[in-house]
Structure formats: structure tokens, C-alpha cells
Amino acid sequence: MPGGIDKTERQLNLISALLKAREGLVWAEITRINGYDDAAAERSRQRRLERDLHDIADIGLMVERIVEDRQRTRWAIHRGSALLPSLTLTGEQRVLLFRIGMAYVDEAGALGRHLSTALMKLQAGAGRGAMPVELPPATIRRSLLRKPGEGAPLEAIVNALLHRRRIAFEYRSRQATGRRVVAPYALVSRRGGWYLLGLDVDRGAERTFRVSRIRGRVSLHTPRGKAPEYDIPAGFEPERSFSSQAFGSGEGAFRDVKIRFDAEVAFAVLNEFEGSYHITHAKDGSLVLHLPFAWPGELMNYLGEFPGHWQVQQPQDLRELVVKRLKASLKVLQGGAP
Amino acid sequence: MSRLADMVNLVTFLSANPGIPLRQAAAATNRSAKQLLKDLDRVLLVGLPPYDPGSYINVRLIGQQQEVHLLLSEHFSRPLTFAAQEAVALKYALEHFAPGADAESAGQVRELAQALGEALHGRARELLREKAPGFVTPPRTDRMRHMLGELTQACEARQVVELEYYSSHRAALGRRRVHPFELVEIGAHFYLFAFCELANATRHFRLDRIRSIRNTAARSTRKPPPRRKTGRMESLFEGKPKDKLVIRFSEQAAQEVADEWKGSPGAKVKPQKDGRAVLETPLFNHFWAIGYVMGFGEHAELLEPRWLRAELAQTIRKSLDAHA
């Protein structure tokens, strides 16, 4: 154990001394710090200091090396850029930050980890006395996960997004399977799954990737590369390149779809779609949901939870298709093969 | 986070919050009270030359609540600036949290994000002011936000509520008196995790299937069950499986199913010689299964369990009757 004490303890002593000394420290003062005051050769202890300063820089604390003359070097923390400015947060805002932290405390990977330290810093930076005596119990848990199978690629993509690193993976598109190198710009959740939006480096253009179609492991394209490897272009708008329709859109989707729901389940439609889609109400409590676009598979997935409570009103060809598919499904259950 | 960063953040947090009760400090710094005590032992070893008894950071725990006081740590009272990843994590959490919060909280989150964007400096300031969102989730309706707010309050106050709830299993509305524990986001939905008096057991209630909520103001004495990983998707897919779900998919649907289910705990997708595929997965709750199979139409056949197959046939007949 160099210096006779644990590395973290030694580095904490160094940080403590650097923070205390507003004008910085010269080598002679550093050699009095516990962890640098041992009998090892001076050059060896100086190398130890360089390694420690590197680790300290990794946690966001930049230490300047100021050469005053050929004989005298001073190490100092630039307080303006290294320390968080004073923040004015109300008690309510501090509780809200606490709630947000607790909501993601179980989130796997880098998001939960970095969020936790960010919130600790904000709570510390907001000064003394504003934390309420009783913190609220943690009663809400949020998660990014949409499907169990998306867990591993999602975590790797979130890590890359946080660090602005390019990633590489095998991707199965409708046409072929191949290796893609992508600079991730955003993750969009639609219809119960995640989609990655980013720059496809080989194609030199923005592309959308369905996370569940990623095969194998998502890895860093250049593991030894230095973050950030790219910037998200100014004006990038995820919604611009992605449909916000609940049941899909685009070529092949049905248009001007109307579904009637009876009074018993009308509330569930309002819970989910009121304000997003046009809804007309009838006196008997039923309603009609108007969808500009819908794919039958995605629509049936939703409607399957309300057996006997819905009816496709228009377009006629969608109604016929739904009836045909229902009959075919029944036939499969009666012995036909899928 | 490195051990060093964790310890520096802990010392700055405790220096800025003198007298904070031990349990509260542990919660706010994301560790157990036992771990915090261990870490405080370590803090005692941090000092300044000449390392006499008066130059080490001192820790005092005062009173019944064990209020934490650090002495001689004033130089740690300002936290380190944000690392870029921390700023991005904060931005993403704020923008992910807001759409699933009640209207009042969502407004506060937006104000907070703006205030932080103005107050912080460097990369954190740039990132928090960046307009492009990192996570985009579907908007929640005002009704859902209102419900989230009402149920959060009931969970915090431990108040019994009456739900008018649509059960997919019965395809009908019913009333339930429940003791709420917490709200959990699983997959694309929010669930209320609660003790249900009707079932005499804990249940997850999907929020978009709740028609109305009445807070009875009666205080619940039910204790939440031992902490589970309720923040993870597995919470609805753990415990003792009710049955085994087996679905056969056509050749056209086989690849999509294989992609979707890869990595799911306990699930297997078995390719068949003729190009079809059979999915086998433990069935912990069946509410989603009928809609899932119906979404594939004639490209999926629910093979097992037999009772669910019968329920699916019944669902399809009812849907056909509605179109007669």
C-alpha cells in the first residue's frame, strides 16, 4: 500500500488539503500530507501524485498545475469551475429532487448511478437547513424498461447517450442483418417498445432502430475513444423523424379509423387518449375514438383487453379485415394451423 | 461512481446539511444507515497536516435521531461541479419524470429544470438548456396525471381507497377497497401496488383501468410486504408462476417474436423445422396475454394453458358478436 494508507483515504487527504489551501500547494507542502509523507523515493511519490490527480480529475475536480518558475510548481483547484455555484432551491424543490432520485433508485446502469450523485450535489449545493425534517416515503418507482428483452441493449445505449459515445451492434432490418455504427441522439418509446434515433455513421444520415431488433451485444465502437465523440446537432427534434401515433402510421396503415367503445369501458379510452385524439360522446355513455392512422395488429393488441366492448365502425375495409382475422383466429383455435 | 467520488459527495452533503438525522441522510445519499455508519468511520480518517487530534474531520451523532454533525469540514461545504454524465442523467431524469407526474409536479419539474439551467455553469448549463430531449415517452392524459397525483398522496398518507376497476379477466367493472403501497411504472403502464380486501392479497392495478378513485380517509394499518424489486419489470413476472404459457407462431411472425422475447427471464422461443416458432414462458398474470395473441390474428395459436385458450375463444366470439 503506497504511502502506508488506503488509496481513497490518501486521495481524500489530498483533496482536503487542496480545498483548504486557497492559493494551492507546493511540493514541500504535499509531502506533509498523509499518504505522501512516507520514505519512498521522491520521484516515486511524485508519480503517485500524478496518478492521484488523474483519478481526481475523473470525478470532475480539475487541479491546475501552475509553474511559477523553474524550481517551483504549485497545484491548485480552480474553485470557480471545479465547485458547484451556490443554488437557491426552495424546500419544495428539494423534496421534488429527492422524490425524483428515489423514483429511479432501482434503475440499472449509468442513469441511476449518475443521477444519484447529481442529486446529492444539488442537495449539498442548495445550502443548509432547507431539507424538511420528515422526508416523504418513496411511493413512486419509475423505469425506462419497456420489455424484458430490451434491458441489456437499452442499458448500453443509455450509457452511450450519457457519455456521447458511438456504439456498434448487429441489426436486423426488414431487408437484411448487418453491423451498424451509430452515434445515439435519443430514445423514443412508442407502442410498448423503445426506438433508438441517431446518426448511422456508415450511411452518414439519421436513422431509427427498433431496440428489440438489435442482435447480440451493443458495444462501444472505439472502446479507447475519449468522450464526447460527437455532439447532437442543434435543432435535432426526435418527434420530427418519428410518428407519435399510438397505433402506428405511414404507408399501409388504415386512415380515418373510428372505433366505438361501450359505456362500460369508455373511461379507459378517456384515460389513455383524451386530449390526444378526437373523441365523440353518445348519450348512453359510449364513445367513438377517431384515429387518423392505425395498423390492425397494434389496434387488436389494445382492443383484445375489452372483449365484446368495442366495434370497428370505419373504414369498412378495416372492419372487414378485423372480422376476417377474428374468424381466422377462431378457426386456428378450432384446429387450423397458424 | 468511484469510491472517491462517493466519499467526497458524502462529505459535502453532510457539511451542507448539519444535524440531518442519520436515516434521512442515508436515504438522501442512497445508502443504508449501516453503510452510512461505515462510511462515517472512514471520514474520521481524513485530515490535514500536521495530523494532530484537532486537524481530523470529526463526526458526532447527537440525540435519539442520531443527527449527523461533521466538524472541521467547512472546506468541503461546496460540492464539486457536475460531471457531464451527471448533467445528462439529471436532464434525462427530469424529462422522463415530468410526463408521468401529476400536473402540479410536472409544472414544478419544468420550473426546476429551467432554474438549474440558469444557475449551473459549464457543460451542465449547456446540457440542461439543450432543447432536444434524450428520452421521448408518449404523453399522459390529464386524467391519468390527476390519478397519479391522487394515488401518490394516498400512498404517502397510507389511506385506504376505493377503486372502480375494470378487470380484463372478468371483462367488467367492479369495486375494490385497497390499501395502497406504491406506484410502479412497468413496461408502458403505471400500476398501483396495493393490498386488495376483495382478493385478500396484494395486487397490481393498472392505472388506465381505474374508472374512479374515492379516498375513504381511513388510515391503513397494512404494512407493505418486504421490499421487492418493484421498480423493475420483473415485479409482474416473478414469484410463483400461475401456469406456463405456450403460443405457436406462423413462419411470418416467428422472427419478430424471437426478437421481442430474447433475454426475457424464463422465456424460450423454439424454432420449428417448418419455420414456425413456439414461445414458452412462465405465466405470472394473464391479463396481457389475450390482447397479445389477438394482435397476431391467425399468425398465433395459444396452445397452453387450456383455460386461457378457452377464454381467448370466448373473447373472440364476443368481439365477433359485437360486429354481427
pLDDT digits (tens, 9 = 90+) for B112-158: 888 888 878 777 787 777 777 787 877 788 899 899 989 999 998 99
Domain, as residue range, for B33: 3-76
Which residues on adjacent β-strands are paired with residue B210? B165
pLDDT at B35 over 70: yes
Q: Which of A96, A115, A270 sits opposite B143 (nearest CB)?
A: A270
**Angle made by CA atoms A51, A54, A58, in degrees to the nearest 5:** 140
**Does residue B291 sit within a domain?**
yes
Give the end of a domain, one of B129, B159, B190. Answer: B129
- Shortest CA distance to A16 belongs to which of B25, B49, B14? B49
Q: Count Cβ–Cβ pairs < 8 Å, chain A vs chain B.
A: 443
A161, B97: Cβ pair inside 8 Å? no
**CB–CB contact B233 A268 (8 Å):** no
Delimit the CATH 2.30.30 region(s) of chain A. Answer: 150-238
Cβ distance of A82 and B80 shorter than 8 Å: yes
Q: A187 CA to chain B: closest CA distance, Å?
A: 5
For residue A149, list chain B residues with Cβ-Cβ distance below 8 A. Answer: 259-264
**Which residues in chain A are closer than 8 Å to B97, comparing Cβ atoms?**
100, 103-104, 142
A322 neighbourhood in chain B, CB within 8 Å: 323
**Using a CB-CB distance cutoff of 8 angstroms, which residues of chain B are in contact with residue A297?**
295-297
In angstroms, what separates the C-alpha of B218 from chain A's closest C-alpha?
18
**CATH node for A254-333:** 3.30.70
A243 in contact with chain B, both atoms CB, cutoff 8 A: no
Bridge partners of B129?
none
Cα distances (angstroms) measured from residue B15 to each of A54, A123, B22, B80, B264: 25, 11, 13, 13, 44
- Residue A241 near residue A208, CB atoms below 8 Å: yes
- Do B272 and B318 sit in the same domain of this protein? yes
B206 chain-A contacts, CB cut-off 8 A: none
Sequence letter at residue A273? F
- Residue B267 belongs to a domain with what CATH number? 3.30.70
Are B111 and B150 in a shared domain?
no
Comma-separated ranges of CATH 1.10.10 domains in chain A: 2-82
Chain A residues closer than 8 Å to B145 by CB: none
Domain boundary among B197, B231, B265: B231
Of the partner residues A145, A193, A264, the one whose CB lies closest to the CB of residue B232: A145
CA separation for the pair B246, B267 (Å, rounded): 10
Q: Which of A31-40, B57-66, B119-128, B305-314 shows the lowest per-residue confidence on average (mean pLDDT)? A: B119-128
Identify the band that residue B250 occupies on the pLDDT scale cut at 50, 70 and 90.
Answer: very high
Give the closest-approach CA distance of B84 to chain A in angstroms. 7
Query: Going residue by residue through chain A (338 aa), what tens digit of pLDDT does each one get?
Result: 666 788 999 999 999 999 999 889 999 999 999 999 999 999 999 999 999 999 998 787 888 999 887 778 999 988 877 888 878 888 888 888 888 888 887 666 677 778 888 888 888 887 766 666 666 777 777 777 666 667 778 888 988 888 899 999 999 876 778 999 999 999 888 766 788 999 999 999 998 898 888 888 999 999 888 888 998 888 888 877 666 778 877 778 899 999 999 999 999 999 999 988 999 999 999 999 999 999 888 888 888 888 889 999 999 999 999 999 999 999 988 876 65
In a domain, B137, yes or no: no
ipTM strictly over 0.90?
A: no
| Confidence grade of residue B231 (pLDDT, cut at 50, 70, 90) | very low
What value does the mean pLDDT take over residues B74-85?
Answer: 82
**Res B236 pLDDT > 60:** no
Task: Inform me whether the C-beta atom of residue A331 falls under 8 Å from chain B C-beta atoms.
Answer: yes
May I ask the CATH class of domain A2-82?
A: mainly alpha
Q: CB–CB of B4 and A55 under 8 A?
A: yes
- The answer, for A8 touching chain B at a CB cutoff of 8 Å, is yes
C-alpha cell at B313: 375463444
Do residues B216 and B158 share a domain? yes
Do the Cβ atoms of B3 and A8 come within 8 Å? yes
Q: For the domain bounded by A150-238, which CATH number is listed? A: 2.30.30
Sheet holding B58-62, edge to edge: B20-21, B67-71, B58-62
B110 in Cβ contact with A183 (< 8 Å): no
* Chain B contacts in chain A segment 258-287 (CB below 8 A): 264-265, 267-268, 270-276
Candidates B81, B147, B263; nearest CB to A149: B263
What pLDDT sits at residue A133?
Answer: 63
3-class secondary structure, B253: helix
Of residues B4, B13, B47, nearest to A123 (C-beta): B13
Using alpha carbons, list the distances in angstroms from residue A263 to A13, A277, B25, B319: 69, 18, 50, 16
**Residue A231 φ/ψ, nearest 5 degrees:** -120, 150
* B92 domain residue, yes or no: yes
B119 to A85: CB separation less than 8 angstroms, yes or no: yes
In a domain, B261, yes or no: yes
Find out whether B244 and B280 touch, Cβ atoms under 8 Å. Answer: yes
pLDDT, position B139:
77
What pLDDT score does A107 carry?
A: 67
Q: Does B225 share its domain with B267?
A: no
Q: List helix spans (H) across B103-179.
A: 103-119, 122-129, 142-157
The chain-wide mean pLDDT, for chain B, equals 85
Q: Which residues contact B249 (CB under 8 A, 6 or more apart)?
A: A338, B257, B276, B277, B278, B279, B296, B299, B300
Do the Cβ atoms of B263 and A144 come within 8 Å? no
A99: nearest Cα among A144, A136, A143, A145:
A136
Cis check for the bond before A292: say yes or no (omega within 30 of 0).
Answer: no
How far apart are the C-alpha atoms of A214 and A153, rounded to whole Å?
8
Tell me the shortest Cα–Cα distance from B227 to chain A, in angstroms.
12
- Whether residue B237 lies inside any domain: the answer is no
Q: Does residue B163 register a pLDDT over 90?
A: yes
How many structural domains are present in chain B? Answer: 4
Residue range(s) occupied by CATH 3.30.70 in chain A: 254-333
Indicate whether B135 belongs to any domain: no
Q: Are residues B262 and B296 in the same domain?
A: yes
Which of A107-111, B240-244, B252-256 is most confident? B252-256
Question: Which among B7, B22, B68, B78 is the top mutation candidate for probing chain A, defined by the most A β-carbons within 10 Å of its own β-carbon?
Answer: B78
pLDDT at A2: 66
C-alpha A193/C-alpha A184 separation (Å) is: 17
Of the partner residues B24, B249, B317, the one whose CB lies closest to the CB of residue A338 = B249
What's phi and psi for B18, nearest 5 deg?
A: -65, 140
pLDDT recorded at residue B225: 76
Q: Dig out the grid coordinates for B2 from the structure.
A: 468511484
